[in-house]
Copies of this chain bind each other. A is one copy, B any other.
Amino acid sequence: MARVVVDVMPKPEILDPQGKAVQGALPRLGFSGVTEVRQGKRFELEVEGEATPERLEEVRRMAEVLLSNPVIEDFEVHVVDHTVAEAAGTVTGQVTA
């Protein structure tokens, strides 16, 4: 069993009203220093078997066909070793892909 994540974000040239709303709310809540916020989607998939190149290519096609709208969104597929639930509330200082 492999855990594969598909991250989907609005393309940079596409307006992102949800991200702008968050960005506008931050100063009102006393947070400063955030210059840009973009909001997108995260899909956590559990797939049978190993995360072989063929399996990941199939997930890439799922992302293209179902999980994203390629006209207005970019996506990235990556294998992860833990879910957000397993890491709940943690802050990872190191740079990750």
- Mark A residues whose CB is within 8 Å of B: 1, 7-9, 11-12, 19, 22, 25-26, 29, 31, 33-49, 51, 53, 55-62, 64-67, 74-85, 87-97
Contacts and interface: CB of A to CB of B under 8 A. Distances in A.
A45 B39 contact: no
A62 B7 contact: no
Contacts of A7: 42, 84
Copies of this chain, complex-wide, total 2
At the interface, is chain A mostly helix, strand, loop or mixed? mixed
A66 B22 contact: yes
A49 B22 contact: no
**Which of A53, A76, A92, A94 neighbours the largest number of chain B CB atoms within 10 Å of its CB?**
A76
A77 B62 contact: no
Contacts of A96: 78-81, 96-97
**Which of A77, A90, A91 neighbours the largest number of chain B CB atoms within 10 Å of its CB?**
A91
Contact of A65 (B29, B53, B77, B92): B29
